[in-house]
Amino acid sequence: MKKQRIVVKIGSSSLTNDRGEIDQQKFDDHIGALAALRNAGHEVILVSSGAVAAGFAGLGYPSRPLTLKGKQAAAAVGQSLLIQSYIEKFSAYKIVPAQILLTRSDFSNRERYRNAFATMTELLERGVLPIINENDTVSVEELTFGDNDMLSALVGGFLHADQLIILTDINGLYESNPRTNPTAKRFDYLEEITEELMAGADENGSKVGTGGMKSKLLAAKTASSLGVSVFIGTGKGDDKLIDIVKGMGDGTYISNPSIAKLNTNRQWIFLHSEITGKLYVDEGAEQAILYNGKSLLPAGVFKVKGEFQKGDVVEVFGLNGLLGKGEVSYSSEELKQTIEKRNRELMADLQSSTVEVIHRDRWAKI
């Protein structure tokens, strides 16, 4: 089988018990399967939850804390315990793990985004197994990835993974939560995540998890839009991950072969950049940038909102709403002046201006 780059996400409920401890049996099962996946020649990146769930007991809480400071303190205790266990258990397979704790600002800041990419690439080239979690202890609530399902989707896209495997305590996506509706049917294969599917997935998961099936579907939707295939489900034994990669996993596969991978630059523009302005374009420009793969030229822009500098990212609106986002080659001042001059019909040379407002390589459509 062709070597693949695979992101495996393991949820809290699949790593810990309700008492706030790492469940050694579950943990060992994952370690064996991850090692087997690497031995089969695949590149593996692990997104591991469980810091809060493995840490609250050590902090003296009887169950997962509800306050932000409680969760952040529990994560500080639990993350060390998790990594200690990963190092210990992987050493038996001669696998060197590396801990990477990310915050959303590591992705929204372009330089840090590039650095993170370079570092993870270096780790993978050297055969190290990156173990990623959100840096819960310092993350500000309003500025998080949301949950680790979304983090794993973003990591999958970022590293141009072939597949994202979301391991959880249930064998896939059902029409509605099978814990409350035992007759609900499971989906084996899906091409897209529709609104109807989203409506059938509730946010209630295990006592230790975050977001239930809803967050997994949102993550699957994001990963698919970035050209990464997704599996949501469960399994047991050393071969469980290999079986999943072979298409024999116990869960739901979500894959749409018609969606191409999005390059790193466009992903950053599309998902992580801070928006500083808005451009409104006419019908001709909309056609050109949406369907003809052209850059956006000044002649197609009729309104500019906000204040931005050259290199900033703006949203572009057509007649019926948002079209996409792109990196501008003009400041808002320059662009406003250009439009004003054109409107006064003083600028004959504007029509021949070839300096695009947004180059097609720096454009990501919705």
DSSP 42: -
Q: Does 193 bind ligand ADP (CB under 6 A)?
A: no
In the bound state with ligand ADP, the residue whose beta carbon lies nearer, of 12 and 163, is 12
Nearer to ligand VHF, 145 or 253 (CB): 145
| Rg (the chain; Cα; Å) | 23
Q: Tabulate helix, strand, coil % of the chain (nearest 5).
A: 40, 20, 40
* Closer residue to ligand ADP (CB): 183 or 352: 183
Closer to ligand VHF by Cβ: residue 209 or 277: 209
136 is annotated as contributing to ligand binding: yes
d(CA 163, CA 120): 17
Query: Which of 97, 209, 251, 298 is close enough to bind ligand ADP by CB under 6 A?
Result: 209
Three-state secondary structure call for residue 230? strand
DSSP per-residue codes, 289-353: HHTS-PPBPGGGEEEEEE---TT-EEEEEETTEEEEEEEESS-HHHHHHHHHHHHTT--GGGTT-
User: Could you say which of 7, 8, 11, 240 contacts ligand ADP (CB under 6 A)?
Assistant: 11
Q: Which does 177 bind (CB under 5 to 8 A by kind): ligand VHF, ligand ADP, none?
A: ligand ADP
Partner residues linked to 47 by β-bridges? 9, 132
The annotation status of 229 as a binding-site residue, yes or no, is no
Q: Which is nearer to ligand VHF, 12 or 103 (CB)?
A: 12
Query: Annotation-wise, does 305 bind a ligand?
Result: no
CB atoms near residue 106 (< 10 Å) = 16
Q: Using CB distances below 5 to 8 A depending on partner kind, what does residue 245 bind out of ligand ADP, ligand VHF, none?
A: none
State the pairing for strand pair 129-134/189-190.
Answer: unpaired
Which partner, ligand VHF, ligand ADP, none, binds residue 70 by CB below 5 to 8 Å per kind? none
Confirm or deny that 148 is annotated as ligand binding. Answer: yes
- The residues binding ligand VHF (CB under 6 A) are 11-12, 49-53, 75, 133-134, 136, 147-149, 209-211
Report the candidate in 277, 147, 167 with the shortest Cα–Cα distance to residue 222. Answer: 147
- Residues of the shown chain interacting with ligand ADP in the complex, contacts defined by CB under 6 A: 11-14, 168-170, 173-174, 176-179, 200-202, 205-206, 209-213
